[in-house]
Every structure is written in structure tokens, then in C-alpha cells.
């Protein structure tokens, strides 16, 4: 397969065929650098050499009634995690200010649980209002299932974006969760969109899916039109149903998946998310030839690369930290 031809096609925003997509995922390890070099052409065309970092806080942990098999906060998980109710505003404000001080572009808050209560929404709206009036940082909330009224309330408070991942293909969904459906997730994304919120939506690979599932998930995201796509790489956490799953993830495979995502979503904000350190190991820096964004200091219940090391990695690559928030979402057609 000619990966440069795929890059040209991606730059022209022509969708990949399934055959092309599978050829990327199934390329030999020895050809991964060819795949990545082609993905980098697309990334550089639409996103230059800029990288932005995001800080994520788990502002409510555990105590969830859903059974997402990958998640250590689910009702079926026995992983020894910290469990706590929604943070007070002062604590979130402190973290938002810390994110601002470390030049993070966006501060993301995540809450465990399926549907937030109206009381939680009111508290979150106050929290967002206060943080937005005290800092210039953009805010994203990963919050489960919202009613339209709840989504509108958060939007009115100044929330920029909602994260809700498709997580896997429609076909594979019942293998990763039984308490809600893939269709519920799509509906929730449409609700957030209707309220005028920006969408962040991606998935997790390594959950027993096959390559067609990965292609289908990436393809389904096209209809969602997310501004940002986080790609997570499963960490099989002890105590969760996926503790002993064979993820089939190797650093090379992770790089090919990121490259495919870049080919299929040439201009989006593509984030290397959870499991970066665990699954990409020494090849982590290479992920930024396809992606343009990373989390620092960890994820919901697992730690991650510290900010100084992440910034050094970005500098060592010769890339620059993206600080400006204005206009990011309209970079779509802005070639270098
Ligand atoms: S991913 Fe969210 S909804 Fe699913 S079990 Fe974890 S906290 Fe609950």
C-alpha cells in the first residue's frame, strides 16, 4: 500500500476505504515508520508542529452504577481506587489555576457516573462560572449522560466542550458494557451538540475488538464531527473485568492506530490519551508525529508523565507548545 497516496487523500479530505484503513492497521512493524511519516505530512499540513497539553482532574471518583468493563470506577470493579463525591469549587479552582500556570490549553474535569443529578449540574455550573471568570483557560467536562436542559445550563455557565467517547464500534459495544448502549452514547453526543457545546469524542483500543471495529469506530466519529478525539490505549487494571484481556497492543500498533485516526480525521485535535505511558513506552514521543495533543500528569485513576518531562519531550522533538486558544477550532482548512 502506498501510504503517501493515503496522506494525499487525507489532506484532500477524501475518506479512506476500509481496505486502506486495514492496510494501515495491519502494516508490518518494519513499515510503521513509513505509515507514521505519511500521517505526519497530514498532521503538519493541518496542525503544524504545535502540541498542546491538557490537565485532567477526576472531580468525582468511583461510586458509579454503570459497568463499563475497562473502568476501575464501575460497579463491577474491585480495583482499590479512591472514591469521593463532587469536589468543592475551591479545589477545582486551584487545579484550573495550576493548569493555567503550566501553559495547559484546556482544563478537563471528569465525573464518574451515568447521569449527573440536577444538584450536581447546579454545582458544576457555579464552578465553571467561577473558574472562567478567574482564568482564561478553556474547559471541558466528561460527565456521562445529560438531559438537554442540563447541557444548556452548563453551556450558559461557560462550558466550552463536553467529552463523551464512542469507546468502540457499535458492533463491539455490548462486549464492553451492558448497562447502556452505543445508541445511548450517540444520542447523548447529539444532545450536547444541540445545546451548542463543542464535542470531544474518541475511544479506547485494546478491548478485544478487531481491526474492522477500530476502522468502524473511527469512521463513525465522522458523523459526530468532534473538535477533538482522544485515543486511549487500554491498561488492563486488576479488579476490572478486563484485567486479563489480551489487548494486542504493541507500541507499533498504537502508532499505526494513531496514524489511521489522523488519516481519517485530518484536521482534528488528536489527543494521545490514557495508556500512553503504559502502552507506547519508549516510543511515546513518536506519537506526536500523528497526534497534536497530550494529557499530562495522569488520567482518571492512573498516574502519567509529569509536566516538565512532557514539555521536554515536546522541545526535544523540535515541536512547539501551543498556547493560544483562540481560533483552534477553526484551524480545519488552515494549511501551514
Ligand atoms: S466510564 Fe464512566 S460511566 Fe462507565 S463505569 Fe466508568 S465512571 Fe461509570
pLDDT at 255 over 70: yes
Q: How far apart are CA 300 and CA 315, in angstroms?
A: 26
φ/ψ of 259, rounded to 5, equals -65, -45
Q: pLDDT band for position 17 (50/70/90)? A: very high
Query: How many Å lie between the centroid of ligand 1 and the Cα of residue 294?
Result: 21
From 69, 73, 145, 203, give the residue whose CB has the most ligand 1 atoms within 8 Å, as the site to mutate. 73
Atom number in ligand 1 closest to CA 71: 6
- State whether the beta carbon of 176 lies less than 6 angstroms from ligand 1: no
- State whether the beta carbon of 112 lies less than 6 angstroms from ligand 1: yes
Q: How far apart are CA 323 and CA 31, in angstroms?
A: 34
User: How remote is the C-alpha of 140 from its chain's centroid?
Assistant: 11
pLDDT at 328 over 50: no
Atom number in ligand 1 closest to CA 72: 6
Mean pLDDT, rounded, for 91-106: 88
- State whether the beta carbon of 32 lies less than 6 angstroms from ligand 1: no
Taking the whole predicted model, whether its pTM rises above 0.85 is answered as yes
Query: How many Å lie between the centroid of ligand 1 and the Cα of residue 114?
Result: 7
In the numeric block, the cell 468511583 is attached to 62
In the numeric block, the cell 477553526 is attached to 330
pLDDT of residue 106: 84
Mean pLDDT, rounded, for 237-259: 97
The helix or strand, by DSSP H or E, that contains position 22, with its residue range, turns out to be helix 18-25
Query: How many Å lie between the centroid of ligand 1 and the Cα of residue 124?
Result: 18
Query: How many Å lie between the centroid of ligand 1 and the Cα of residue 244?
Result: 19
Using a pLDDT cut of 90, give the percent of the chain over it: 76
Of the given ranges (70-84, 101-115, 277-291, 317-331), which has the lowest mean pLDDT? 317-331
pLDDT of residue 301: 67
Per-residue HEC secondary structure of 189-237 comes to HHHHHHCCCEEECCEEECCCCCHHHHHHHHHHHHHHCCCEEEEEECCCC
| Domain layout of the chain by residue ranges | 15-324
- State whether the beta carbon of 322 lies less than 6 angstroms from ligand 1: no
Mean pLDDT, rounded, for 175-195: 96
The three cell numbers locating residue 234 = 487500554
Query: How many Å lie between the centroid of ligand 1 and the Cα of residue 75?
Result: 9
- State whether the beta carbon of 64 lies less than 6 angstroms from ligand 1: yes
Of the given ranges (62-76, 102-116, 241-255), which has the lowest mean pLDDT? 102-116
CA max distance for the chain: 54
Mean pLDDT, rounded, for 236-242: 95
Question: How far is CA 240 from each of CA 41, 75, 181, 237, 302, rounded to the nearest angstrom?
Answer: 39, 10, 19, 6, 14
Strand partners of residue 162: 141, 199
Length of the chain counted residue by residue: 336
φ/ψ of 244, rounded to 5, equals -110, 15
Mean pLDDT, rounded, for 66-72: 93
15-324 placed in CATH 3.20.20.70 = yes
Query: How many Å lie between the centroid of ligand 1 and the Cα of residue 112?
Result: 6
Mean pLDDT, rounded, for 125-132: 95
Atom number in ligand 1 closest to CA 142: 2
Q: CB under 8 Å to 280, separation ≥6 — which residues?
A: 233, 251, 254, 255, 272, 286, 287
Mean pLDDT estimate for the chain: 91
Q: How far apart are CA 300 and CA 204, in angstroms?
A: 14
pLDDT of residue 326: 35
Mean pLDDT, rounded, for 116-131: 95
Cβ proximity of 139 and 106 under 8 Å: yes
Atom number in ligand 1 closest to CA 64: 8
pLDDT at 241 over 50: yes
pLDDT at 100 over 50: yes
pLDDT at 308 over 90: no
- State whether the beta carbon of 114 lies less than 6 angstroms from ligand 1: yes
pLDDT of residue 103: 79
Mean pLDDT, rounded, for 2-13: 97
Active-site amino acid positions: 64, 68, 71, 108, 140, 200, 271
Q: How far apart are CA 185 and CA 252, in angstroms?
A: 30
Give nearest CA residue, ligand 1 atom 4: 68
At 133-157, the pLDDT tens digits run 999 999 999 989 999 999 999 999 9
pLDDT of residue 300: 66
Give nearest CA residue, ligand 1 atom 7: 112
DSSP, collapsed to helix, strand or coil, labels residue 25 as helix
Q: How many CB atoms lie under 10 A from the CB of residue 196?
A: 11
Q: CB under 8 Å to 274, separation ≥6 — which residues?
A: 204, 230, 232, 233, 235, 295, 299, 300, 302
Amino acid at each position: 500500500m502506498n501510504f503517501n497516496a493515503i496522506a494525499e487523500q487525507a489532506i484532500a479530505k477524501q475518506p479512506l476505504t476500509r481496505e486502506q484503513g486495514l492496510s494501515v492497521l495491519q502494516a508490518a512493524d518494519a513499515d510503521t515508520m513509513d505509515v507514521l511519516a505519511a500521517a505526519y505530512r497530514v498532521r503538519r499540513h493541518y496542525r503544524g508542529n504545535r502540541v498542546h497539553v491538557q490537565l485532567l482532574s477526576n472531580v468525582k471518583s468511583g461510586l458509579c452504577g454503570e459497568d463499563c468493563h475497562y473502568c476501575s470506577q464501575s460497579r463491577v470493579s474491585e480495583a482499590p481506587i479512591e472514591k469521593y463525591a463532587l469536589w468543592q469549587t475551591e479545589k477545582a479552582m486551584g487545579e484550573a489555576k495550576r493548569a493555567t500556570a503550566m501553559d495547559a490549553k484546556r482544563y478537563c474535569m471528569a465525573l464518574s457516573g451515568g447521569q449527573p443529578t440536577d444538584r450536581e449540574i447546579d454545582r458544576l455550573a457555579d464552578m465553571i462560572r467561577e473558574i472562567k471568570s478567574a482564568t482564561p483557560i478553556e474547559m471541558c467536562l466528561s460527565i456521562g449522560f445529560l438531559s438537554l436542559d442540563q447541557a444548556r445550563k452548563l453551556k450558559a455557565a461557560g462550558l466550552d466542550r463536553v467529552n463523551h467517547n464512542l469507546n468502540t464500534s457499535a458492533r463491539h459495544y455490548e462486549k464492553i458494557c451492558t448497562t447502556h448502549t452505543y445508541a445511548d452514547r450517540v444520542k447523548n453526543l447529539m444532545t450536547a451538540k444541540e445545546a451548542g457545546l463543542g464535542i470531544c469524542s474518541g475511544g479506547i483500543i485494546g478491548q478485544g475488538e478487531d481491526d474492522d471495529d477500530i476502522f468502524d469506530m473511527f469512521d463513525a466519529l465522522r458523523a459526530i464531527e468532534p473538535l477533538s478525539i482522544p485515543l486511549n490505549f487500554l491498561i488492563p487494571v486488576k479488579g476490572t473485568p478486563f484485567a486479563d484481556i489480551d489487548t494486542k497492543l504493541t507500541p507499533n500498533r498504537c502508532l499505526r492506530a494513531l496514524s489511521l485516526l489522523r488519516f481519517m480525521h485530518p484536521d482534528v485535535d488528536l489527543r494521545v490519551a490514557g495508556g500512553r505511558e503504559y502502552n507506547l513506552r519508549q516510543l511515546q514521543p513518536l506519537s506526536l508525529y500523528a497526534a497534536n495533543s497530550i494529557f499530562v500528569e495522569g488520567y482518571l485513576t492512573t498516574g502519567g508523565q509529569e509536566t516538565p518531562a512532557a514539555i521536554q519531550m515536546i522541545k526535544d522533538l523540535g515541536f512547539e507548545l501551543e498556547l493560544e486558544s483562540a481560533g483552534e477550532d477553526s484551524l480545519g482548512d488552515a494549511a501551514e
